[in-house]
Amino acid sequence: MSVTRADNDYRFTHPTTAMVLRDMRIPRTDPGPGDLIPDFSVTTTDGTDIDNASLRRDGRPTLIVFGSMTCPVTESAGDGLRELHTRYGDRVRFVLINVREAHPGASTPQPQTERQKAEHASLLKQHHRLPFEVATDDLDGTLHRAFGPRPSSAYMVTPSGEITFRAHWSNVTPAIEEAVAAAAAGRRPPRTEVNQTVQAMARMTGYAGSQQPAGVPSSTHGRRHRRSA
């Protein structure tokens, strides 16, 4: 998929209804099961670079998850991802890619610099107490848009970069575990794709608007404000 520099629409101040509705479907042109992931390079919160070559060197299948601090799907996925890592992290690599804020507000605005976005990634890792790698996409979301800029999807990927499983939403933990367990055992996932939008929306109920970071550094966005509803 060809990706050009993002325009201002990617780093929105507030999502529109059209954007939310667009997130409810996956275009046929987006990478899916059987496709190779795009070439990429991202940096983790501890400064380690992750790219296609590093996935090959690691040798384990990788669960790639996209998310952000203000995404209620990501918020409701945190506990499940930690539990999956506890069970399978020795055999499956886990990487969460911090992307644009899904619902930016006063206390967590949309990052306007690479540094701000990296700080949001650190806050996301701390907030969910994630014991695995959290990396930052670039400011214009090059990797995110290459996969399809939905707020929080998950992908099971082989060391060679083939997508073997795609979940539209990262909080459908039982379906994701089915794929992770198969990959950990050296098998292909029994299902290559799940949508489960109804289950995902039900699971995130009660999380929308509850994402309250420990504190956005003053050097990032100025003084803190109460997050708007």
pLDDT at residue 27, as a whole number? 86
Sign of CA dihedral 158, 164, 167, 168: positive
- Mean residue pLDDT across the chain: 87
Nearest-5° angle of CA 207, CA 87, CA 197?
35
pLDDT at residue 20, as a whole number? 75
pLDDT at residue 208, as a whole number? 56
Has residue 1 got a pLDDT over 50?
no
Has residue 127 got a pLDDT over 90?
yes
Mean pLDDT of 150-167: 97
Mean pLDDT of 150-158: 96
Q: Identify whether the C-beta of residue 37 lies closer than 8 Å to the C-beta of residue 67.
A: no
pLDDT tens for each residue of 52-70 = 999 999 999 999 999 999 9
Q: Which residues contact 229 (CB under 8 A, 6 or more apart)?
A: 209
Q: Cα 126 to chain center, whole Å?
A: 15
Q: What is the pTM of this model?
A: 0.84
Mean pLDDT of 13-40: 86
Q: How far apart are CA 135 and CA 45, in angstroms?
A: 6
Q: Identify whether the C-beta of residue 89 lies closer than 8 Å to the C-beta of residue 131.
A: yes
Q: Identify whether the C-beta of residue 175 lies closer than 8 Å to the C-beta of residue 167.
A: yes
pLDDT tens for each residue of 31-43 = 999 999 999 999 9
Domain 35-208 sits in which CATH superfamily?
A: Glutaredoxin (3.40.30.10)
